[in-house]
Amino acid sequence: MKTKIDYFDYDTLLQPTDWRFAAAVVGLCKYFDYFGIVYKVLYDVEEKPDNYIHGFDGIIYKSEDITEEKYLEFAENYFEKYMTHKNILNILESQEFSEEQIKLVNDLVKSKTVLKGLFDKIKFNGTNKDIFISTIEENRAEIIKNIFKNGNNLYKNYCNERLIFTEDNSTCRLRGYNVDKDRKTSNLGFCFSKESFESNDILEFDFIPFAFSNPDMRETYFVNNNFSVKSLTQTNYAFSNQLSSTENKYDKNKLMLVLQNSKDYISYDVEIISKSQDKAYYETFFVRLERLKKLRELSGKSLNFVKEINDKYIFNLEKEVYMRCLNNVLLDDAILRMFRFYFDDNAGKSYIKSRTDMLIDINVSWKGNEIMDEIKNQIGLAKKCGHLVSKRLIEMKSSNKIISYKYKLSSALNTHDYDRVKDILLRLSAEVSMEFPFFYAFLENAEKYKDIVFAFANSLNEGSLNNNEENN
């Protein structure tokens, strides 16, 4: 919440009452620190200003310290890598230019509309660098503003680019919060009354892009642990640094790997805001400490498996497990999907089997220690039975039935047809003349003990069995 105050020489208090204000606080702190502008942290002052909201930290500052000139200078420095004119100026520092450098300068000019307009009738030829340098310096503010506000990974990703550095907007400038007032808006308000619609927007929301993590990623993150300004700034600094140093192709996987290693600065429930360049809105998910501990337990487990389902969807096992862990969702559907991959002619069956075994173990552990201790022995029995059944069918010259029974079991489990699962197990038991000790637990409570059948079905192997498998 932003509050006008009369506090010594300061006139504004910004408190992180929701994630938008929290992110604005982080961005503003970076801005003030960059210019060496003095501000105060609410928790650090003995005498509190009037009208502050109890229970929230905040920053106290002078509104006059926020100027468009300084804002653009800060944006240029913070996102220097993406400032095309800076790249051009760096090249122009040379005394002589190769053909490659000349071409690069002209290509960079063409890449930005604002630069194309300024150099419409001029091409860099290696001898006219002074014209290019002076033109850029004379129009520097305009260039920065246009590049920054229109960058898909910069301001435009987070806010309506038409509202940059504006005040008194009738709707919030943030993506997903912004409303086109020229379109029908009666459905926004209570009882279709647009007069009842309320929105808040402040200039300080322009600092939100500086609070999110790495612009190199298509999906960026902000950790809203708004216990204090100190925790906000330090957590997001550490979080962003870890994301930068984590090598992984997928942004969500990067996020999960960082969360696994975040115990030094995240030791409580937190809210994480994500913003993808592919989506015109922000997403929020809550990371509970209990689930975070479960996520950290996954560290070191090999969950590498990626399969393209279609042009629009790639199944990434690691990502699927991590997201289910944080959302407190069991792995039943992921296990069943791995079964389906097993039946693919091109599938690496032994690799899929080992990953599925791991998923089953993780699934059981997520159900709690009491159930895990109860099921652990049954899981072992089920796996051993699966190996012995496979061996028996091979000896009976009926190895083709192994994959058939595995398919039937997975199909019945997929539809939650537990009566059919029981029928299949009874028929298989009779065919191989074996008793299945684990069957009685499943008979007692199929939903509770279905992991046992998962383990059994996964252990059915139509290939040759070695002694190590039989003894597992």
Q: Are 331 and 260 in contact (CB under 8 A)?
A: no
Q: Check residue 279 and give its pLDDT.
A: 93
The band of 198, judged by pLDDT with boundaries at 50, 70 and 90, is: low
Residue 275, pLDDT score: 96
pLDDT for 183 equals 57
Q: Which of 277, 297, 317 represents a domain boundary (last residue)?
A: 297
Percent of the chain with pLDDT over 90: 69
Mean pLDDT of 416-432: 96
Handedness of CA 99, 105, 110, 116 (dihedral sign): negative
Q: Which domain holds residue 233?
A: 212-297
Q: How many domains does the chain have?
A: 4
Q: What is the DSSP letter of 36?
A: T
Other CB atoms closer than 10 Å to residue 380's CB: what's the count? 14
Do both 199 and 274 map to the same domain?
no
Contact 441, 460 (CB under 8 A): no
**Average of per-residue pLDDT across 373-387:** 89
1-27 pLDDT, tens digit each: 999 999 999 999 999 999 999 999 999
| Whether residue 413 sits in one domain with residue 393 | yes
Residues 159 and 145 in one domain: no
Q: What spatial distance separates the first Cα and last Cα of the chain, rounded to whole Å?
A: 60
Q: Mind listing the pLDDT tens digit for each residue in 101-121?
A: 999 999 999 999 999 999 998
Q: Is there a single domain that holds both residue 17 and residue 144?
A: no
Q: Note whether 45 and 24 are same-domain residues.
A: yes
Would residue 421 count as lying in a domain?
yes
Assess if residue 42 is contained within a domain: yes
Nearest one of 93, 9, 21, 75 to 53, comparing CA atoms: 21
The H or E element spanning position 61 is strand 59-61
Instruction: Evaluate whether residue 361 is within a structural domain.
Output: yes
pLDDT, the chain, mean:
90
Asked if 357 and 236 sit in the same domain, the reply is no
pTM: 0.80
- Percent of the chain predicted with pLDDT > 70: 93
pLDDT value of residue 470? 41
> Could you give the dihedral angle defined by the CA atoms of residues 48, 51, 55 and 61, in that order, rounded to the nearest 10 degrees?
-60
Backbone phi, then psi, for 135, in 5-degree steps? -65, -40
Does residue 304 fall inside a structural domain? no
> Do 163 and 197 belong together in one domain?
yes
Domain assignment of residue 389, yes or no? yes
Same domain for 84 and 72, yes or no, is no
